[in-house]
Each structure stands twice: as structure tokens, then as C-alpha cells.
């Protein structure tokens, strides 16, 4: 084995780590970071020099094996066995391709500390440099093997004897195997196998565990709910609320809702667009970078697996994390600091999304103590496809084809593999719970797949997400049947058991169904795009899913039973009661100082540091870019003409009244979109719930209320839901104390617009133009940012007045279409005060506002007017010469003229204060991670 160490002449990474250490309140001396490549195999000196030249830069770096002074402390960090190292894979590829023989490459990170005490180094290791789930410090004399391979064992088919088990024993079996199946479900499975006249294999039970899981089947949302305090019952919550909106509205432009991997709407005569938002909460809490990156990877594959595959054209990312100034001492054991989590997820999403060439056009960060141990990571993706590619259908005799990355132990939970049952020992050193993404593999897959789609070489496709090949094949085979030979599946390393291959959640894989005659052309395309393609089986008309590994029969289950035989769950709910009212700001508030604390609060403060780390302009179609407006406007490239779409989202987790929480989330999504010029009659919505355990009737009751709120408001607005996802077990247990996330409903929206030129940003434009407010302000500051800063709990929270709101949205759309509105911003967190400030930033202009012009309902003090977060309100700049026309359009709705754009750089709120924009902007930009 030979070693090449690379030092950067300008060691930016080392300096950054030093700063990070100092951020922890510790002091560190000089710090260096080096890259190390280990080369395995016979290499001549000449070849060694050539390789060194490839892995280093002759101008900005130097290479060698360096000596460090004796007082310097050196640690080397290596990835745990089984964790993917794309750099090593790619380096080995290039070396082999240019004609050198090498057995393997491994990479390490080397950190050199000067004048730093051991305690500091230990804390730095723990909090900055490594995550034990994926990395470890190279121990003295540790032999670093080239490729990890498990000891190869003769594959077996472990059987589970369940027919004679009692109910209690069945439940214990479910627990010990980590199946998360309940008593009824286990009994149903046991009966099924009795009828089949045999005992199940471990793989078969795993298959049920996956397909009957909350994640795959949404049994809570689709099950029965008994409402305890109202003596009533709900059958299928999802169908009776969220899906009901879509059914009742019957919008002809909804092409597919709640069926495929994403919801699909019409774009124009030729194209359709699809949209999906997923959560990746738990993996991101454990390993923020990898968890968030694979979150993006997963939702992008949903889009690639929607219909016959759509081209991803935009990503959205919404993060909910704990407060950045949370003291380390208050963190429960095993919880990463919110700053580290946020940094990790931001760079994970950026790295993966940027490398896939998908612009990240919209997103937000919300801070709340309830997210400290349970951070939420929502990843969304929008795709475009020809309308002719929306439908897919597997034909009997089609081949089952696995494409993309190789299969390893990634994402198989160690707990599932307790050796007693499986008769296979999971090597402790294998860290399998955490997945590391490889964006290059996914990009190749994306390019190859879309090329094959355009030549219509396959009949159906789906992604390998949760449950891997097991879920993908079972779902594709619905109504037909499939036979799969697992021995054909290409592996990352030897030694996986057949069951592991079947359920592995390795990233960057998809399954195609294609006729045999297209195989050679498919192979050619995937080869050109450097993506792997393997035939692993055939779809047959047996109505069964039959999985073999050589001569061994791993799994043989009736598909109808597997996909639809699950007993309905029945959950109990207690509907929350009691509504608080009265929410005015305290009298005699020092408005000026409160105002600055609002602007520098992490929720409001500029996210520019974060947004700029994402490529938001790749593909050339981002018309309204992030930081400029409440929502994004994009014009997809393959489409001629001016048609485009608006993408936005909203969430309001601070409102404890869950009905108001849900309706405010929906309203925020819609008003963000309308603020840039979306047509309210062409908006489709997505719902994503992150909740505490539904086993708790109180949580369940809140879920019911939230769904009812979404039904009520979406119906009133005439906006169908097209897709959704729920993540229902966001709890963290520490010292027997359960902590769950605040009920969080992310509503995302997508709206088609005829002309992307008829959209507006939030920055004020022309001095002298009048400023209006649209919508009514109510005394409902409960849960508002002002109350949170002042630590006032309780108080009435914002309601939505659906009839008034939708009228406003329609009128605003007309005004923007007519070119009368030059800039527009919605009022959300921080109310009018924050909205008018943000409109000034970057404009070089100022605003003069008089609160007397604000239409209010029973609000008494000016601070309440300035900071109320009433829904459905906008601040607009109107073309001064067309004021009359604007007022004519708005007549009949609540609106008022409140001031004008001024050339000076001041924000003047008459009778209250006059502050320089520069000062406000400094406060707004004061936070950086």
C-alpha cells in the first residue's frame, strides 16, 4: 500500500475548522487539513508519480508524505466499512481507465493541530470533525483494508415458525425482528401462511413489515378513527378530507392525484408537470449531510419514477431546526447541535441538488425548540414530461430491470438483523443505518433514463425508495406478478445475504419494466451514460411475487394479499377543544427596539448565506429567483413561449390551535404564490404532515382537526390537493421523557401561469408610487413572532376568512396581470412591520407609511397593527398613474392606501419612528451560520 498526502497551500478548510472550534468557545492554535489517498496494489515508481499528479494540483497544492513537528497532534479520519466513498471509487476508475492496474483506493482526512490541548481536540472530534455513525479515527496500527467484504457465507433461507405462536409471542416476534407490525397484522400473516400450508421465510416477514409499514401504506391516514369525545367515527381520514377536495372540485387539469409517485397537472397542450414533497427527518437527525442529501436524491427519483419519468426542473427545501443559540449543556444525549444540523443539511442538499443540475428555487428555515431533537427536512421536486408519458403499464413478460447504483447494506437497520432470528450475524463494524448519497450516480441514471424514455424503450418505471427492490418490484407487479433472481443483482461488496439484497435501501437505484426486444438498445444508452443496467427477473401472470437466490426460494407471496390484505387499523382520537381569543400587543411597547429584534430574529433574518450555496439558476429557467420574492417563478426550458409556473409553500407551526395552524399554513402557501402573480384558479396543493405519535389520542385528534381545516380551506379556495405524505412518529425519548415535534403542516403549491413576464418581485421600484395594503388586520397576535420575542404565551391566533381571501387573491391577480402592481409582498411573520422593511432592502429607496390607512377590525394599539400576523394580507406598490384602475379592481374588498415610496433611505412609520434602511438591513443581516 502506498500513501499520497495532499496539502493545500491556502488551507481554507483548516482555517474554517479553527473558526468552528472557536465558535464552541474553545481556543485552538493553527490547524491544518490534508487529503490522503491510499493506493493498494503493485505500482511502479513511474506510475506512482503519475497518480500523484492526477490526485493533486501542481499550483495550489503540494503532495508527499509529510512530517509534522513533535508537539503537533495528528488524527486521521476514515469512513466506516460499508459507507460509500465516491471519491475513492471515481479515482480508482480514472486510474484504471488510463491503463494502470490498481487493486483499490481509499481516502482519509488528516487533521493536524498545533498548540491545542487534548480536551479541545476531543471536543472538536466529537462536535465538528466526525460522526461516529459513518467515520472513525484511524487507530494506531489499524490495518486499513481495501474493500470491505463480509465473510462470504453459504446463503440460507431462515424460516420463522409462527403458526404455533400465541398472540403475545407473535407480538414479541414482530418486535424482535423490528417489523413494527401489530397483533392483528401478525395474526393475519400467520393465518395466510397456515393457508399456504407452510411457515414463512424471514424475507417474507420482512416483506410484510415493509409493505404494511406506516411509511408505505399510510395506515393511520387511511384507517378508521374513533373520536372519543364526539362519539363519532371517521372512515379513511385521507379520503374523507384531503382527497375529497380533489374529488369534489373535479379540475380537468389535474391529470393524476394520489396515485403515482407524484401528483401530475397539465402544463400546456403538450406537457404536464408533477410535484412531490418528501420528509427525511430521522436520517437527517443522525447524519445531517447524508440524510438531507439522500432526501433530495429520493424525491428526485420520485419524479423520475412518476409516469414514465419526468425531468426534474426545480427543487424546494424546507428545514425546521432548534434555535441556533441552544446551549450545548441542554442537549439530550445523542442529539447534535442545531447549528451543526442546519449546516449539515444545507450543505447536503446543496451538494446533491447542485450536482444533479436541479435549481433549488424555493425554501425556508423555521426555528423552534420542539425541533431540537427532531429536526424536520422536507425536500420537494418538480418535474416536466410530455403528456404522453404520464401513464405507465407493465406488460406480462416484460423484463424486471434494475438500473443505477449497486446494492450494499446501506439503510438496512441493524436492529432488524438480530442474529437469533435471522441466523446471520450483522457484523458490528458495519454501519448500515446511515446512507451516503452519490449524486454522480443519480445524475447518470437521470440522463440515461430520460433518454430511454424519449425513445419509449420501457413500459413502466418506479424508484427504489423505502424497502428497496422489495417495494419497487411488488408495486410494479401489482395485478400481474413477478419472478426475480437476486443472484443477478450487482453488489457493492460480497457477503450480503439474499434477504439483505431484497430489502436494502441503497440509493440511486430504479426498476424498469421493458420488453425483451428493447434490451440491447437500453443497454447501449445506459452504457453511454455510464450507468449500470441489469436484468433481474420477469413480470409474469402468476399474481405472485416469487424471489429466488439460485436454487433457494426466498419469497413467494400472493400479491393481492401483500398489497391489499392488511387489516384496517383503528386509532382513537380526542378532538382538541377550547379556543383562545384576544391577542393585542402590550401598551407602551418600545417599538423601535422590538422592531430591530424582530428583524434579527433567526426566523426573519436574511437567509442569503444559505440561499447562495444552492445553484438556483441552472437550467436557465429561474425567472423570479430566491431572495427577491415570496415564491419562485420558473419557465421550463423545453417549452417555447411565455408559459411558466409559480412554486411556493407555507407552514405555521407556532399556532397551537391546530385548525388555525393548518389553515394558516395553507393560506401562507397560497398568498406567497399570489404575491408574485399566480392565478388562484390554477393552483394545486401538496400536504406534508410531521406529527408526534398517532398512538396518542390527543395527537390523533389534532391530526383530524388539521385535515378538516385543509379540507375546508382548500374547498373554499377551489384548489385541489394532488399529492401528500405523512411522517407520524417524530418523537425523541430521553430519560423516559418524550419530546415530539409541534404539529407541522407544510403546504406546498404549484400554479401554472400563461405569461412569466406578468409577475412581480417584492422590492419597491419607483419613488412617488403609492403603497397599499390589501386585507384586514385583526387583533390575533397569539403565536406571533412579537409574542414569542416578548415571551407572551396564549392569545387568539390568526384565522382565515376564506370568502374574503379568495376574492382578494383573484383581484390581486387581475391587478398584476394588468401591470398595475409593480411590487408585492405578503405579510407573514412580523406582520406589516417586517414586510415593509423587506420591500426596502436592496432597493436603494425608502417608504413612508401611515398606519391610519390600514383597515382593521377592532385593533386598538399601533404595535398590534404593525406586528399582527393576520392571514391573507399584502403590501403592494401601485403604478402612480393607474391608482384609479387599481382601486376599481379592488373595490368591494378590504384595502387601504398606507403611504408611498420615497427616494431617501429611511423607513418612516408616521407618529412612531423613522429608521435608516441601512441600520435595519444591518440588523436583518446580522445572523450567519
Partner 1 sequence: MVRALILYAPGINCDLETKTAFQTCGASVDEIPVKKLEEQTSKLLLYDILILPGGFSYGDSISSGKILSVYMREFLKETVLEFLKRDTLVLGICNGFQVLVKSGLLGHDITLAENANGRFEDRWVRLRVRNSRCIFTKGLDIIELPVAHRGGRVVIKDGVVNATLAYIDEQDKPTMEYPYNPNGSEDAIAGICDDSGRIFGLMPHPERFYLPIQYPGTWKDKIPHGMKIIKNAVDWVEAHTSLSGVHRIIDD
Active site residues per annotation = 215, 280
CB of 52 to partner 1, least distance (A): 12
Smallest distance from partner 1 to CB 354, Å:
6
Nearer Cβ to partner 1 (155/350): 350
Distance CA 237, CA 242 (A): 8
Contacts for 90 with CB less than 8 Å, ≥ 6 apart = 440
The answer to whether the beta carbons of residues 273 and 645 sit under 8 Å apart is: yes
- Contact region for partner 1 (CB under 8 A) — 571-579, 580-588, 609-617, 658-666? 609-617
Could you tell me the end-to-end alpha-carbon distance of the chain, in angstroms, rounded to an integer?
Answer: 40
Residue 106 or 251: the one with the smaller Cβ distance to partner 1 is: 106
Minimum distance, C-beta of residue 552 to partner 1, in the bound complex (Å): 36
Pairwise CA distance, residues 705 & 700, whole Å: 9
DSSP-assigned states of every residue in 705-723: HHHHHHHHHHHHHT--EEE
Q: Build a one-symbol-per-residue string for 40-69: x at contacts with partner 1 by CB under 8 A, - elsewhere.
A: --------------xx-xxxx---------
List the one residue out of 494, 467, 526, 510 whose CA is nearest residue 215.
467
Rounded CA separation 129/127 (Å): 6
Taking the complex as a whole, how short is the minimal distance between the CB of residue 264 and partner 1, in angstroms? Answer: 22
Sheet strands (E) in 157-246: 224-227, 232-235
String marking each residue 158-177 x if it binds partner 1 according to CB under 8 A:
--------------------
* Residue from 146, 628, 639, 908 in contact with partner 1 (CB under 8 A): 628
How far is 669 from 607, CA to CA, in rounded Å? 19
Would you say 268 or 543 has its CB closer to partner 1?
268
Of 44, 97, 588, 735, the one binding partner 1 (CB under 8 A) is 97
696: cell is: 396518542
Please identify, among the stretches 93-101, 322-330, 454-462, 797-805, the one whose residues bind partner 1 according to the rule CB under 8 A.
93-101
> What minimum distance in Å lies between the beta carbon of 844 and partner 1?
12
553 touching partner 1, by CB under 8 A:
no
The tally of CA atoms less than 13 A away on the side-chain side of residue 446 is 24
* Binding to partner 1 in span 756-785, by CB under 8 A: 756-757
- Supply the minimum distance, in Å, between the C-beta of residue 444 and partner 1: 5
Looking at beta carbons only, is 422 or 634 nearer to partner 1? 634
Work out which of 74, 98, 415, 570 binds partner 1, going by CB under 8 A: 98
Residue 244 vs residues 216, 238, 710: alpha-carbon distances, Å: 21, 8, 11
- In the complex with partner 1, the residue whose CB is nearer, 450 or 849, is 450
Write the binding mask 409 to 448 for partner 1: x where contact by CB under 8 A, - elsewhere. Answer: -----------------------------xxx--xx--x-
- Of residues 484 through 503, those in contact with partner 1 by CB under 8 A are none
Strands (E), 754-859: 770-774, 821-826, 846-849
Please identify, using beta-carbon distances, which residue of 82 and 621 lies nearer to partner 1: 621
Residue 350 interacts with partner 1 (CB under 8 A): yes or no: yes
Helices (H), 305-383: 338-356
CB of 355 to partner 1, least distance (A): 5
Nearest distance in Å: CB 526, partner 1:
11
The C-alpha angle 554, 560, 563, rounded to 5 degrees, equals 80
Which region among 140-148, 620-628, 662-670, 770-778 touches partner 1 (by CB under 8 A)? Answer: 620-628
Question: Contact, 258 vs 246, CB < 8 A?
Answer: yes
* Contact window for partner 1 (CB under 8 A) among 89-97, 139-147, 152-160, 232-240: 89-97
- Tell which one of 479, 490, 620, 819 touches partner 1 (CB under 8 A): 620
Residues 612, 346: Cα–Cα separation, whole Å: 11
Name the residue nearer to partner 1 (CB basis): 38 or 89.
89
Q: Centre a 10 Å sphere on the Cβ of residue 642 and count the other Cβ atoms it contains.
A: 13
Q: Is 643 in the site for partner 1 (CB under 8 A)?
A: no
User: CA dihedral in degrees (800, 774, 890, 820; nearest 10)?
Assistant: -130
CA distance 922 to 750: 34
Q: Which grid cell sits at 465?
A: 425508495
Strands (E), 502-608: 509-514, 532-539, 544-549, 552-558, 570-573
Among 144, 637, 698, 918, binds partner 1 (CB under 8 A): 637
Give the three-state DSSP class for 558: strand
Per CB under 8 A, 110 contacts partner 1:
no
Decide: is 625 part of the binding site for partner 1 (CB under 8 A). Answer: yes
> 724-760 burial string, b = 16+ CB within 10 Å, else e?
bbbbbbbbbeeeeeebbbbbbbbbbbbbbbeebebbb
Q: Which stretch in 81-89, 182-190, 266-274, 798-806 sits in contact with partner 1 by CB under 8 A?
A: 81-89
Report 185-214 residues binding partner 1 (CB under 8 A): none
For 102, half-sphere exposure in the C-beta direction (CA atoms, 13 angstrom radius) is 30
Closer to partner 1 by CB, 591 or 628: give it: 628
Under rule CB under 8 A, residue 617 binds partner 1: yes
Give 204 or 877: the residue with its C-beta nearer to partner 1. 877
User: Would you say 529 or 655 has its CB closer to partner 1?
Assistant: 529
Is the Cβ of residue 35 or residue 206 nearer to partner 1 in the bound state?
A: 35
Alpha helices per DSSP H over 793-909: 802-817, 831-840, 862-867, 883-890
Query: Which residue, 402 or 450, has its beta carbon nearer to partner 1?
Result: 450
What are φ and ψ of residue 169, in 5° steps? -65, -35
Q: Indicate the residue among 227 and 358 with the shorter CB distance to partner 1.
A: 358
Instruction: Please give the grid coordinates belonging to residue 436.
Output: 451516503
- Bridge-partner residues for 824, per DSSP? 876
Spell out where 625-692 has E strands.
632-634, 644-650, 683-690
Beta strands (DSSP E) in 427-543 are: 460-463, 482-485, 509-514, 532-539
How many residues bind partner 1, per CB under 8 A? Answer: 56
Shortest distance, position 394 Cβ to partner 1, whole Å: 29
**Which one of 367, 614, 654, 721 is in contact with partner 1 (CB under 8 A)?**
614
Q: Is 530 a binder of partner 1 (CB under 8 A)?
A: yes
- Residues paired with residue 737 on neighbouring β-strands, in sequence order: 734
Among residues 613, 681, 861, 904, the one that binds partner 1 under rule CB under 8 A: 613
Region near partner 1 per CB under 8 A, out of 215-223, 388-396, 528-536, 785-793: 528-536
CA distance 599 to 594: 9
The span of 68-76, 347-355, 589-597, 717-725 binding partner 1 (CB under 8 A) equals: 347-355
Q: Which stretch binds partner 1 (CB under 8 A): 400-408, 498-506, 522-530, 596-604?
A: 522-530
Shortest Å distance, C-beta 97 to partner 1: 8
- Distance between CA 911 and CA 54 in Å, rounded? 67
What is the DSSP code (8-state) at residue 407? B
Q: CA 709, CA 659: separation in Å to the nearest integer?
A: 5
Nearest distance from residue 740's CB to partner 1, in Å? 34
Quote the CA–CA distance of 228 and 230 in Å, as a whole number. Answer: 6
- Output the smallest distance, CB 531 to partner 1, in A: 8
Question: What is the x/- site pattern for partner 1, positions 5-34, by CB under 8 A?
Answer: ---xxx-xx--x------------------
Which residues would be at the binding site for partner 1 (CB under 8 A)?
A: 8-10, 12-13, 16, 54-55, 57-60, 86-87, 89-91, 94, 97-98, 350-351, 354-357, 438-440, 443-444, 447, 527-530, 611-623, 625, 628, 635, 637-638, 756-757
Amino acid at each position: 500500500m502506498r500513501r499520497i498526502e495532499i496539502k493545500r497551500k491556502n488551507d481554507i478548510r483548516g482555517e474554517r475548522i479553527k473558526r468552528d472550534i472557536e465558535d464552541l468557545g474553545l481556543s485552538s492554535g493553527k490547524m491544518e487539513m490534508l487529503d490522503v489517498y491510499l493506493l493498494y496494489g503493485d505500482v511502479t515508481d513511474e506510475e506512482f508519480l503519475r497518480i500523484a499528479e492526477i490526485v493533486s494540483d501542481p499550483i495550489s497544492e503540494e503532495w508527499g508524505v509529510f512530517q509534522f513537528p513533535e508537539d503537533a497532534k495528528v488524527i486521521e479520519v476514515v469512513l466506516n466499512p460499508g459507507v460509500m466513498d465516491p471519491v475513492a471509487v471515481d479515482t480508482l476508475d480514472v486510474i484504471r481507465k488510463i491503463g494502470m492496474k490498481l487493486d483499490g483506493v481509499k481516502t482519509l482526512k488528516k487533521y493536524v493541530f498545533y498548540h491545542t490541548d487534548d480536551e479541545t481536540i476531543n471536543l472538536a472530534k466529537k462536535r465538528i470533525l466526525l460522526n461516529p455513525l459513518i467515520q472513525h479515527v484511524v487507530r494506531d496500527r489499524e490495518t486499513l483494508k481495501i474493500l470491505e467484504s463480509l465473510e462470504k457465507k453459504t446463503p440460507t433461507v431462515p424460516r420463522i415458525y409462527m403458526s404455533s405462536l400465541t398472540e403475545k409471542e407473535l407480538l414479541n416476534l414482530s418486535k424482535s425482528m423490528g417489523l413494527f407490525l401489530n397483533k392483528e397484522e401478525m395474526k393475519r400473516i400467520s393465518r395466510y401462511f397456515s393457508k399456504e400450508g407452510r411457515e414463512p421465510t424471514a424475507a417474507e416477514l420482512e416483506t410484510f413489515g415493509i409493505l404494511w409499514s406506516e411509511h408505505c401504506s399510510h395506515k393511520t391516514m387511511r384507517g378508521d378513527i374513533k373520536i372519543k369525545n364526539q362519539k363519532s367515527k371517521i372512515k379513511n381520514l385521507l379520503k374523507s378530507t384531503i382527497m375529497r377536495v380533489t374529488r369534489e372540485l373535479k379540475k380537468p387539469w389535474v391529470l393524476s392525484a394520489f396515485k403515482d409517485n407524484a401528483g401530475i397537472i397539465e402544463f400546456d397542450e403538450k406537457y404536464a408537470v408533477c410535484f412531490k414533497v418528501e420528509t427525511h427527518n430521522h436520517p437527517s437527525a443522525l447524519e445531517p449531510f447524508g440524510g438531507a442529501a439522500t432526501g433530495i436524491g429520493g424525491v428526485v427519483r420520485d419524479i423520475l419514477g412518476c409516469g414514465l419519468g419526468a425531468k426534474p426542473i426545480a427543487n424546494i427545501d424546507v428545514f425546521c431546526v432548534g434555535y441556533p443559540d441552544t446551549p450545548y449543556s441542554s442537549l439530550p444525549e445523542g442529539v447534535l447541535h442545531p447549528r451543526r444540523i442546519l449546516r449539515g443539511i444545507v450543505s447536503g442538499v446543496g451538494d446533491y441538488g447542485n450536482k444533479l443540475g436541479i435549481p433549488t428555487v424555493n425554501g425556508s428555515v423555521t426555528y423552534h425548540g420542539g425541533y431540537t431533537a427532531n429536526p424536520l427536512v422536507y425536500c420537494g421536486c418538480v418535474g416536466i414530461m410530455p403528456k404522453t408519458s404520464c401513464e405507465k403499464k407493465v406488460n406480462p413478460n416484460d423484463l424486471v430491470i434494475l438500473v443505477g447504483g449497486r446494492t450494499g447494506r446501506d439503510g438496512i437497520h441493524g436492529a432488524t438483523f438480530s442474529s437469533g432470528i435471522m441466523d446471520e450475524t450483522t457484523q458490528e463494524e458495519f454501519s448500515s443505518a446511515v446512507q451516503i448519497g452519490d449524486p454522480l450516480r443519480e445524475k447518470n441514471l437521470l440522463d440515461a433514463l430520460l433518454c430511454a424514455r424519449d425513445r419509449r424503450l420501457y413500459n413502466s418505471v418506479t424508484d427504489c425508495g423505502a424497502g428497496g427492490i422489495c417495494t419497487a418490484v411488488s408495486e410494479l407487479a401489482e395485478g400481474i406478478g413477478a419472478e426475480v433472481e437476486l443472484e443477478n443483482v450487482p453488489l457493492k461488496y460480497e457477503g450480503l445475504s439474499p434477504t439483505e439484497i431484497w430489502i436494502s435501501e441503497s440509493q440511486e437505484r430504479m426498476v424498469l419494466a421493458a420488453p425483451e426486444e428493447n434490451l440491447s438498445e437500453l443497454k447501449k444508452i445506459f452504457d453511454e451514460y455510464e450507468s449500470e443496467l441489469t436484468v433481474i427477473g420477469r413480470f409474469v401472470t402468476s399474481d405472485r411475487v416469487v424471489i429466488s437466490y439460485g436454487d433457494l426460494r426466498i419469497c413467494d407471496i400472493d400479491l393481492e394479499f401483500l398489497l391489499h390484505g392488511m387489516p384496517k387499523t383503528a386509532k382513537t382520537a380526542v378532538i382538541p377543544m377550547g379556543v383562545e381569543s384576544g391577542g393585542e400587543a402590550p401598551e407602551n411597547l418600545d417599538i423601535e427596539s422590538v422592531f430591530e429584534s424582530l428583524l434579527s430574529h433567526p426566523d426573519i433574518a436574511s437567509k442569503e448565506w444559505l440561499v447562495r450555496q444552492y445553484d438556483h439558476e441552472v437550467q436557465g429557467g429561474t425567472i423570479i429567483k430566491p431572495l427577491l420574492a415570496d415564491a419562485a417563478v420558473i419557465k421550463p426550458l423545453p417549452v417555447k413561449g411565455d408559459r411558466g409556473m409559480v412554486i411556493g409553500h407555507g407552514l405555521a407551526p407556532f399556532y397551537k390551535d391546530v385548525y388555525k395552524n393548518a389553515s394558516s399554513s395553507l393560506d401562507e402557501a397560497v398568498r406567497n404564490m399570489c404575491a408574485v402573480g399566480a392565478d388562484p384558479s390554477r393552483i394545486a396543493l401538496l400536504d406534508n404532515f410531521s406529527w408526534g405519535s398517532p398512538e396518542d389520542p390527543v395527537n390523533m385528534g389534532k391530526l383530524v382537526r388539521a385535515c378538516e381545516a385543509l379540507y375546508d380551506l382548500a374547498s373554499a379556495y377551489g384548489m385541489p390537493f394532488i399529492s401528500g405524505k405523512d411522517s407520524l412518529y417524530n418523537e425523541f425519548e430521553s430519560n423516559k421523557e418524550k419530546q415530539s415535534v409541534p404539529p407541522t403542516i407544510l403546504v406546498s403549491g404549484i400554479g401554472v401561469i400563461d405569461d412569466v413576464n406578468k409577475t412581480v418581485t417584492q422590492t419597491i421600484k419607483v419613488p412617488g408610487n403609492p403603497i397599499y395594503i390589501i386585507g384586514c388586520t385583526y387583533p390575533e397576535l397569539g403565536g406571533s413572532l412579537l409574542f414569542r420575542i416578548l415571551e407572551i404565551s396564549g392569545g387568539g391566533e390568526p384565522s382565515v376568512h376564506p370568502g374574503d381571501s379568495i376574492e382578494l387573491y383573484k383581484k390581486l391577480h387581475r391587478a398584476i396581470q394588468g401591470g398595475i402592481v409593480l411590487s408585492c409582498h405578503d405579510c407573514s411573520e412580523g406582520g406589516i412591520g417586517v414586510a415593509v422593511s423587506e420591500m426596502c432592502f436592496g432597493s436603494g429607496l425608502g417608504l413612508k407609511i401611515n398606519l391610519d390607512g390600514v383597515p382593521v377590525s377592532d385593533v386598538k394599539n399601533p404595535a398590534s397593527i404593525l406586528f399582527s400576523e393576520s392571514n391573507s394580507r399584502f403590501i403592494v406598490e401601485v403604478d402612480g398613474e393607474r391608482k384609479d384602475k387599481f382601486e376599481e379592481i379592488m373595490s368591494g374588498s378590504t384595502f387601504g392606501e398606507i403611504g408611498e415610496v420615497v427616494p431617501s433611505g429611511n423607513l418612516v412609520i408616521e407618529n412612531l419612528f423613522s429608521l435608516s434602511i441601512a441600520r435595519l438591513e444591518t440588523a436583518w443581516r446580522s445572523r450567519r451560520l
